[in-house]
Structure 1
Amino acid sequence: MNKFERINAALHSKEVDRIPVNLWMHFSAYDQNPRLLAEKQVDYARKYDFDFIKLAPFGLYSVEDWGVEIEYFNKVNQPPLATKYAIEKPQDWATIEVLPAIFGTYGKQLQLAQHVAKLSKGEIPFVQTIFSPLTTAYKLGGNRLLLDIKEHPEYVRQALEVITETTINFVKANIEAGVSGFFFATQLATTDLVTEFEYQRFGVPYDLEVIKSYNRQTFFNIAHIHGENNLFDIIEKYPVNCLNWHDRWTSPSLAEARKRTNKCLLGGIQEAPYFDVHHQITKKSLLVDGSVNEVELHVQEAIQEVNGKGLILGPGCVADQEVSEKNIYAVRKASVLTGQSIQSA
């Protein structure tokens, strides 16, 4: 199987020659240069024979063009930080305007997709990272958003319409660039930030408008649900064919999710720290501090939870940039051996 065939088979819960895998991460030392970032991402995927590339634009790319002030560090494991939000009072939501996809920070991320398309030469699927409109609004205004949803919903809706149209502009340009699909990330589908009712009103309609702008044109479309206490029951019904969340440290588990949906599940590898009973960190990350044997067993457990069907191995969110090379190879080895043993059972 080539990588496109392997991913497509996993998306349709068909047999694969090995379980497809990717350990995506940010490349914060390089992510302000789209050409250099593209080279790093393609080289990383080729070195470890990953089955797809998740493009890794920095997490604030969707708001800089609207005035969020950002500090850049260009260092490993030190992503850019917002130093000043663009929305400081309710009326500010009405000032943002629809943006094209070809200029500014959006334009750089489009260049990233274009460069990856050239470098990958049609040999590996790649998906662009986009954020739900409500997530982008949260990056624009921080907790101001959560207050204005309650007190000034008309302003928030106006802004969400603008963000949605801008996101769709970006989506269309990325389809022209040759992406295989989109990694649609929502960081607000959690009751830690909004109620289910609020997400139904301010999240779902705009999410669906974005997703429906591409889901019939691209074959590999992932919904990423970020955070604990997630609204999995809502997001699992979205018209995407793959779901990703922190399955190792928040519910549902892979096994539980398989009982609830037939969609492809992307996960199984814990990217977050491990804590002891005293809430002290015992491992920064299994991929960083774990032994090869621990990593292999971890991967085998994930594959066995769903009997190797409809699964793509990956982290619940970005992997630590200091991941151990021996453990990357351990993941790859386990994905092959465990997958083969399940297929032959």
Structure 2
Amino acid sequence: MNKYERIKAALNFEEVDRVPISLWMHLSENDINPKSLAESQIEQTRKYDFDFIKLMPFGLYCVEDWGAQVQYYSKSNQPPIVKKPGIESIEDWGKLKVLPAIYGTYGKQLQLAEHVSRKVGGETPFVQTIFSPLTVARKLAGDRLLLDMKENPAIVKQALEVITETTINFVKANVNAGVDGFFFATQCASEELLTEEEYKIFGVPYDLKVIESYNKETFFNIAHIHGDKIMFDLVANYPVNCLNWHDRWISPSLAEARKRTDKCLLGGVREAPYFDGNNKKIRDSLLIDGTVVEIGNHVKESIDSVDGKGLILGPGCVIDQQTPERSLYAARRSVYTGAHTLV
């Protein structure tokens, strides 16, 4: 099977020659330059023979064009941060305008997709990373968003419409650039932030507008549910064909999720450190300090939990940029039948 055939088979619960896998990380030392980022991601994918590329634009690309001031470090494991929010008063929400996809930091991420398409189009499936409109609003305003939603919901909804239309502009340009799908990330579908009823008002309608702008145009459409206490069942009903969340350290597990959805599952590789009952770190991520045997057993356990069907192996979120090569090779090797050494 080639990579396209393998991914499509997994999405459709068909037999695969091996379970597809991809591991992704931020490349913060060069993710400001779209061409450098494209080349780094392609090199990494080919080196470890991963089955798809999740494009890794820096996480604040969606707010700088609306006035957020971003501090860049261009160092490994030191991603950009918001130095000054784009929304500092309730009136600022009303100043947001719909943006085109070809300028500013949105335009740079479009260039990223174009570079990757020219280099690996037809060879390796690749998906662009986009954020839910409510997630963009929170990146723009920080936690004041939650207060503004309560005190002036109408103006926040108006801003969410603007963000939605801008995201759709970006989506359409990426489809034209040749992406095979989208990694739609929501960082707000969590009961730690909102009630499910609140998310149904401020999240779901805008999420669906974005997803429905591309889900019939692309074949590999992932919904990523970020954080703890996630609204899994709510997002699982979105019109996507693949779900990703931190399955190795929050509920549901892969096995539990298989009982609750017929969507393809993307996960099975723990990206986070381990903590005890007092929230004290007891060891780093398995990919950082695990042995080859531990990683092999970890991957096999995930595959076995869903009988290897409707599964694409990947992390619940980004892996550490300092992950050693031996761990990446060990995870990749582990998808082959008989490559696991159980002890």
TM band (smaller chain) = over 0.9
Partner SS for 2:161: helix
Instruction: Find the counterpart in structure 1 of residue 123 from structure 2.
Output: 123
- SS of the residue 1:70 aligns to: strand
Corresponding residue for residue 305 of structure 1: 305
Root mean square deviation, CA, Å: 1.1
- The CA deviation string for residues 313-341 of structure 1, in whole angstroms up to 9 with x for no partner, is 0000001101111111111111112699x
Q: Does the C-alpha gap of structure 1 residues 298 and 202 become closer, same or farther in structure 2, counting only changes over 3 Å?
A: same
If the length of structure 2 is used for normalisation, what is the TM-score? 0.97
Listed as ranges, the matches of 1:81-100 within 5 Å are: 81-100=81-100
User: 2:36 maps to what in 1?
Assistant: 36
Q: Distance in 1 between matches of 2:154 and 2:121?
A: 46
**Separation in 1 of the partners of 2:72 and 2:249?**
30
After superposition, the Cα gap between the structure-2 partners of 1:83 and 1:312, relative to the gap in structure 1 and judged at 3 Å, is same
Instruction: Name the counterpart of 2:22.
Output: 22
- Cα distance in 1 for partners of 2:201, 2:170 equals 23
Contact conserved, 1:18 with 1:339, CA < 8 A, in 2? no
Matched with 1:46 is 46
In 1, Cα distance between equivalents of 2:54 and 2:140: 24
Q: Distance in 2 between matches of 1:316 and 1:208?
A: 22
2:97 alignment partner, SS class: coil
State how 1:147-226 maps to structure 2 within 5 Å. Answer: 147-226=147-226
SS state at 2:59 partner: coil
Match for residue 78 of structure 2?
78
2:108 corresponds to? 108
Cα distance in 2 for residues equivalent to 1:276 and 1:185: 28
Query: In the comparison of the two structures, how many residue pairs are matched?
Result: 340
Aligned to 1:276: 276
**Structure 1 equivalent of residue 326 of structure 2:** 326
| Partner SS for 2:26 | coil
- Is the Cα contact below 8 Å between 1:300 and 1:338 reproduced in 2? no
Identity of aligned residues (%): 65
3-state secondary structure, aligned to 2:185: strand
Partners of 1:65 and 1:306 in 2: CA distance: 42
Q: Aligned partners of 2:263, 2:278: CA distance in 1, in Å?
A: 37
Provide the C-alpha distance between the structure 2 equivalents of 1:279 and 1:208, rounded to a whole number of angstroms. 36
Distance in 2, matches of 1:276 and 1:243, equals: 27
117-126 or 311-320, which deviates more: 117-126
Q: Distance in 2 between matches of 1:121 and 1:261?
A: 31
Amino acid at match of 1:295: I
Following the alignment from structure 1 to structure 2, what is the Cα–Cα distance between the partners of residues 162 and 279?
39
| Alpha-carbon distance in 1 for matches of 2:255, 2:163 | 35
Query: How far 1:283 sits from its partner (Å)?
Result: 2.3
Deviation, structure 1 residue 281: 2.0
What are the Cα deviations for residues 70-127 of structure 1, in whole angstroms up to 9, with x where unaligned?
1000011000000111111111100010000000000000000000011114200000
Asked whether the equivalents of residues 76 and 321 of structure 2 are also in contact (C-alpha less than 8 Å), the reply is yes
Give the CA deviation at 1:44. 0.4
2-structure distance, mates of 1:277, 1:204: 34
Query: Once the two structures are superposed, what CA deviation does each residue of 1:254-287 show, in whole Å capped at 9, x if it has no partner?
Result: 0000001111000001100112355332322111
Whole-Å separation in 1 of the counterparts to 2:328 and 2:280: 25
Q: Which amino acid aligns with 2:7?
A: I
The answer on whether the counterparts of 1:303 and 1:338 sit within 8 Å (CA) in structure 2 is no
Segments of structure 1 that go 5 or more residues without pairing to the other structure are 341-345
Q: Which amino acid aligns with 2:157?
A: R
SS in 2 for 1:8: helix
How far, CA to CA, are the matches of 2:57 and 2:178 in structure 1?
16
Gaps of 5+ in 2: none
For residues 214 and 283 of structure 1, the distance between their equivalents in structure 2, rounded to whole angstroms, comes to: 41
Q: Which amino acid aligns with 1:301?
A: E
Contact preservation (8 Å) 2:333, 2:339: no
Matched, 1:259 2:259: yes
Q: Deviations over 1:210-252 (max 9, x none)?
A: 0000000000000000000000010000000000000011100
User: 2-side partners of 1:203 and 1:108: how far apart?
Assistant: 26
CA distance in 2, matches of 1:103, 1:236: 33
Q: Secondary structure at the match of 1:303?
A: helix
For the residue of structure 2 that corresponds to 1:271, the secondary structure is coil
Contact 1:286–1:295 (CA<8 Å) still a contact in 2?
Answer: yes
> How high is the TM-score relative to the length of structure 1?
0.97
By how many angstroms is 1:67 displaced? 0.6
Aligned-partner Cα distance in 1 for 2:99–2:86: 15
